[in-house]
Structures are given as C-alpha cells and as structure tokens.
Structure 1
Amino acid sequence: MAVFMQALKISNQLFDRFLPQTVCVRYKFRNRIAMKRNRKRREDMSWAAELLNYRNNVLKEQPEPSPLHLVTKIKPMAGRPKNEKLALTSLGFTKESDGKGPKSIIVKNTPTVNSQLKVVKHLLRITPITFPYGVPENEEDLEHCQLNENGEFIVVRNVTPGEEVRTLPTAPWQSTVWDMDVDTIKKHTLKIRQDMSLNAEFFSVDPVYTYNQDNKEYRYFGDKSDNGTKHFNERIDHNDGSKKES
C-alpha cells in the first residue's frame, strides 16, 4: 500500500510538470453598439435632476409662516385626560365651549403656543390665517373685516375716494296705510293667536264618522264567520244599525 501511494504521488508530480493545467473561459458574444449605448444611458442622469434637487426647491419655495392661527375645537373636552384639559384651558377653551361657549379662538404662532397645541392637536382643527387683501391699515378697515372658516381674513376697502362718492337723491319717507310694522302685525294676528288657529289652513279638519257607516260592525265582536254576521243582524233592526222605535 505504501508503494502504491508513493507511485501515485510521483505520477501527479510528473503530470503537473509536463502537462500544466489550463483554465477554460467561456466568452459570451455581445453587440458593441448596444454596450456603448447602454453605457451612455447609465451615465446620463438628467432624468433624475428634478428628484435630486427636490429638497432644495422645496426649501426655497416654502412660504413664510402665518403669524396667527385659527383654532377650532372639533371634539368635546369631557372625558379627556387632565393634561389635555389643562392645555385646552390655557389656550382659552372652557367646559362651556362644548355647548354654548366659544369653539374658535385666535392664537399666536409662537413656540410656546405651538407646544400646547401639539398636546391637543387631535381635538382641534388648526388653520393658518392668511391676508389675501393685505392687513388692516387703520381703524376704519377694522370695521369692514371678516374672518372666514378657511382662515382668510378679508378686508373690504373703499376703492373710490370720498370726494368722488355721490349718493342718489331720495324722496323723504312718508308713512302710509300699507306699511307693515311690528305693532300692526301683532294687532292683526291677536285674534288668531287667541283662538289658537295659527297656520290652521295647513291642517285638515278632523273627520266625523257616523255609527257603523261601513256596515261592518260585526267585525268588532271578534267573530268574523257567518255566525257572527247572523248574530249581528239579529241585534239591529235597520241597515244603518239603528233600533226600531218601541
């Protein structure tokens, strides 16, 4: 056995020396034009330029934050944790705001107020207040302002100068018999209210039924068979259900 192993070792040495082992490589044919085109496509990143610059564009186009917020309570305060109730109270809401109290308030856009809003943001609807027609400039503008539910603060200004405003002449007012004031309406409806017949024209009169007008009184006794009909006919003298005079 030892002689066989030694002979095998010598044969392997001779084989490696005179017949070196070669590596076989399989080459796959490829179109050179297609390879060149694909390389250009991989290097072209123009299609991703908008995606790569998206964050920079968003930061540049970000509008200025609104100085005020319109906060509307959309869920009741009852049953909420203590910290949420304290946050709502500090913002200006009360327990009465669940019913008849104020449900919308205006707060400043400051870090302190925003930290309180973050605690109860699931109970509120926060809308930034915008000024599409500018902010009020004087006290006269404040008399013609309106705050909509979408947060738009509308300022209605008089675009015509005061000197050019002209009022149409109107005739002096004179009272006539056709004028309807509150006292006249109350006097006219006094009798109607006393009779409790207000809007009586919209309600029909209660119908008046005569006795046995459908000639089916026998059904009222519960027996709807022929025996019941016979028993009913024996009790009456006339077809209308009346009794004969004795």
Structure 2
Amino acid sequence: MGEVNKLRFPGQKDPPYQPTKLLMIERVKPVYGNPYWEKKLLKHFKLDGQKREIAIVKNIPEVNNLLWRIKHLIKVTPITTPDGLPEEGDYNGTWLTEHGEFRVSPRLRVDPKRIEATEQFYEDKAKFDTETLKKYLRVDRSNGPNFNCLLLANG
C-alpha cells in the first residue's frame, strides 16, 4: 500500500532537457474575487493591471515557489532563443513573441548614423519648441496667423 506505481519501463530515462533562464508569465484570470494573498502576489509580479499583461521573471526556485501559489491565475511560458542571444548591450532588432521566442533580426537594427542624426535634431536650438510655436501661430480670426513673427524670430 505504501508503494508508488511507476508508469515507466525499467531502464527508461527522460530525454536531456536544459531549462530556460527566463519565464514569461501572463495573467489569464481576473484579480477580483481572489484572496488577498493571491492579489498581493499578482501585484508583486505587476500583473494586477489589465488582463493578458506579461511579466518576465527568472527561472529560480524562489520565484517558482511564488508562481506555484498563483498557478491557477497565470500562464507560464519558457522564453527560448532560437536565433541565439544578442551581444551584451546591443538589443536593437530584438522582440519577444507571444509564444515565448526571443527573436533577433539584423534587418531591424537601427543604423547608428540615424540615431546620431535624431540626437542632433533634438539638441538643435534653432528649431522651435512647442511654447514658441503656440506663441507665434495663434490664429487671429480676422488676420490669420502671423508668419512675419516667425521669420523675424528665426533669423
């Protein structure tokens, strides 16, 4: 009576499996109607907002113990890297699919020249900011906008 029935054949082993480092968790049940300790765990993982929001957590025993307590409220998906990991600090052209695949695409990378041009555009003092445009482009209903002020202010 104290024995455990084994469903395997003698000598049968599990195939080798390498666990993933990260997990994608997604809330699939409502927060309302659950006890306060489950709501507290959902808030801890920042899953107390909209339904179907995701959170990325480490696959470690401490986190897995917390996820076990709310397993009926969430969906856990291991994050795989079929294209390999990107280089450290270079995460341009990467995205996470809804199936937990962390994809890397060289076609989506942003050219460093474009990033530099954007930074120069934002730092340029010659362009008008929002307050200046509001000041000079106020519409006088009888005369229309005063474009002469823009020309004088710009240079």
TM-score range, shorter chain: 0.5 to 0.7
SS in 1 for 2:9: helix
1:125, 1:106 → 2: CA distance? 12
| Greater percentage in strand | 2
Choose the corresponding residue for 1:62, options 11, 16, 20. 16
The structure whose Rg is larger is 1
Which runs of no fewer than 5 residues in structure 2 stay unpaired? 1-7, 108-155
Deviations 1:54-78 (A, max 9, x none): 1x3x1xx231111100001001101
Deviations 1:11-37 (A, max 9, x none): xxxxxxxxxxxxxxxxxxxxxxxxxxx
SS in 2 for 1:117: helix
Residue of structure 1 equivalent to 2:38: 84
SS in 1 for 2:55: strand
Which runs of no fewer than 5 residues in structure 1 stay unpaired? 1-49, 159-246
Paired residue type of 2:98: E
**1:69-108 correspondence to structure 2 within 5 Å:** 69-94=23-48, 96-98=49-51, 103-108=53-58
**1:29-178 correspondence to structure 2 within 5 Å:** 51-54=9-12, 56=13, 58=14, 61-94=15-48, 96-98=49-51, 103-140=53-90, 142-157=91-106
RMSD, matched Cα: 1.8
| Greater percentage in helix | 1
1:138, 1:117 → 2: CA distance? 29
State the TM-score, normalized to the length of structure 2.
0.59
Paired residue type of 1:53: G
2:19, 2:71 → 1: CA distance? 18
Question: Runs in 1 of length 4+ with deviation above 4 angstroms?
Answer: none
1:139, 1:82 → 2: CA distance? 39
* Offset of residue 89 of structure 1: 1.2
2:105, 2:17 → 1: CA distance? 24
The percentage of counterpart residues that share the same residue type is 34
Residue of structure 2 equivalent to 1:26: none
State the TM-score, normalized to the length of structure 1.
0.38
Deviations 1:189-210 (A, max 9, x none): xxxxxxxxxxxxxxxxxxxxxx
SS in 2 for 1:66: coil
Residue of structure 1 equivalent to 2:3: none
Aligned length: 100
8 Å CA contact 2:26–2:47 kept in 1: the answer is no
SS in 2 for 1:118: helix
Paired residue type of 1:52: P
SS in 2 for 1:51: coil
* Offset of residue 51 of structure 1: 2.7
Residue of structure 2 equivalent to 1:43: none
Higher RCO structure, 1 or 2 (CA under 8 Å, sep 6+) = 2
